Homo-oligomer: A and B are copies of this chain.
Amino acid sequence: MTPARRGLPYGVFSRPGEPRRVGVRVGDQVLDLAAALGDEVFAAPVLNPFMALGRVAWREARERAAEAARTGDHLLPLDAVTLHLPIEVADYVDFYASLEHATNLGRILRPGEEPLKPNWRHLPVGYHGRSGTVVVSGTPIRRPCGQRPPSTPGGRPSFGPSLRLDLEAEVGFVVGTPTRLGERAGAFEDHVFGVTLVNDWSARDIQAWEYVPLGPFLGKSFATSVSPWITPLDALEGARVEGPPQEPEPPAYLRRAAPWGLDLALRVQINGETVAEPPYRDMYWTPDQMLAHLTVNGASVRTGDLFASGTVSGPRDPGSLVELTRNGAEPFKLADGAARTFLEDGDTVTLTATTRDGICLGEVSGTVVPAT
């Protein structure tokens, strides 16, 4: 049994001249679910109608898909299909849940100040990103243009292609069961359908100039890449761990009712070469806390909402180049001898993640193409 078979992640695929429909990955094949299970909900071009059915339906479908996969019918080779963005993204929220990452970024962006803002240990800091530019793995990433910081205080910004294009390795969570406006979310596993990988591409120069006081905007909104596969929570039972201790203890609505830390080993590759292996399991804020925070003010979540962890960084394995190179001050070398600070045109970034018991969460990949 291959790792991917045990994960049985969901995606959306098409064959030439045929409409998009839902599939389940089984090793290097995809199970055509509409054909295998005879259920119209899998003939949809996105996972949303299925995800809206709720947890009982998710479990039943997973059992039936596993059974169908064993028969060997309706399996197509992965290289004969095209994979698409698996969900219609409703709202996209990006958190900032890694203590290492927030500390590193604070030091870089606000030197001389306390790196963590006073709120950071009391709530999972987050912000809304752009849903309309969430793209599937493989989509080329065009280097964004924008305003870059003035070279002297009080000076004029320059305009042009970002000179500090970065990656951010993140884990994303996809909402299946919505909440009602004015009500808080219930248990994490009753709302969240599954997990994906996210590369939250970032133009550090554009971001540094624009982000005060209302947060990141064009430095992020040009593209966010996700894996074509959504791994259902049930596949990750064996990866669940307690999150790290939190001091001070967070307010009651953020207390963890169950362990929703996940022991995932991420890998960041540039042009096929591993540059970091950030450990997700040490993330300070866990995704159940993110969902509780998102809805504590009565804001509703919808089927297709995507919320991401923020950059996953460990002490020796940061999930972004701005950290790896200390904002460009310490270049690193790739195997071909080329020095890198930030991403060059033509660079391909690939993120993967695997649980300790060998379940692969797929990959998210993107190649930088020159600015127009």
Contact = CB atoms under 8 A, between A and B. Distances in A.
Contacts of A183: 372
Contacts of A253: 159
Query: Taking chain A's interface residues, is the majority helix, strand, or loop, or is none over half, making it mixed?
Result: loop
Contacts of A145: 296-298
Interface size class of A (residues with CB under 8 A): 35 or more
B122 A213 contact: no
A262 interface: no
B203 A147 contact: no
A165 B219 CA distance: 30
Copies of this protein in the complex: 2
Interface string A80-91: 000000000011
A213 B109 contact: yes
A153 interface: yes
Given A122-B157, A157-B119, A215-B216, A305 B132 contact: yes
A279 interface: no
Interface string A108-148: 01100000011100110111111111010000001011110
Nearest first, the 4 A-B pairs at minimum CB distance are: A215-B215, A144-B297, A128-B128, A127-B214
Interface of A: 90-91, 96, 106, 109-110, 117-119, 122-123, 125-133, 135, 142, 144-147, 150, 153-154, 156-157, 159, 181-183, 203, 206, 209-219, 221-223, 248, 251-253, 293-294, 296-302, 305, 372
